A and B are shown apart, each in its own frame.
Chain A
């Protein structure tokens, strides 16, 4: 199984400041069709997960443009350009290239300082 490793575990951020979350996979996530199936999910307190980013860098409809995804191969990053109060929650990366099973990172908790 592909192991997804996120860092940091916890990320205290000042409102209006940037935040960056790293995600590394134990093997390349490039699929035979040339796509890289790496997604990012946000889970606000008490809510179901919501996908923010698909295929590394494609923002979902309704996701603010302060969220961006980047990376390739085995190293990926989710960035929030200016953290807002509504961004508090846990963020997960997930690979959908080598399945079953789909595998998630352990999560990064974003909180306001």
Chain B
């Protein structure tokens, strides 16, 4: 069974930076697009960014463009989210999830448990 484990969250000041990681196991990581999603405290779900299997394409929600960068290392079965110029409104639980798989034509089969990012002075 697939498992995703996020890490790297924490308390950061406005304008600061943080790098999130997501370690995958039990899945063929390189066969999946991968996504980051987030959920502000007491709020709904928001998709943040995704990246193609080979890292050649990535897409972002408008609110994070130019500030967040998604990347992956297939050799390490790992996904990353580099966040700079953080704002209070970026405070959220951040989840990584498997995205598109060509064989199943499905997205978001597996989710991690999340890592909490708090942007506050």
Contacts and interface: CB of A to CB of B under 8 A. Distances in A.
A96 B37 CA distance: 14
Contact of B105 (A35, A92, A103): A35
Contact of B45 (A55, A96, A99, A104): A104
Contacts of A50: 111
A39 B107 contact: yes
Contacts of B106: 51, 54-55
B95 A48 contact: yes
Nearest to A4: B44
Contacts of B45: 41, 43, 49, 92, 94, 104, 107
B106 to A, nearest CB: 5
Interface residues of A, number: 24
Interface hub of B45, B50, B107, B108 (most chain A Cβ within 10 A): B45
B95 A106 contact: no
B59 A51 contact: no
Nearest to A43: B45
B49 to A, nearest CB: 8
B44 A51 contact: no
Nearest to B6: A48
Contacts of A37: 107
A45 interface: no
Interface of B: 35, 44-47, 50, 59-62, 95, 105-109, 111-114
Interface of A: 35, 37, 39, 41, 43, 48-51, 54-55, 90, 92, 94, 96, 99-107
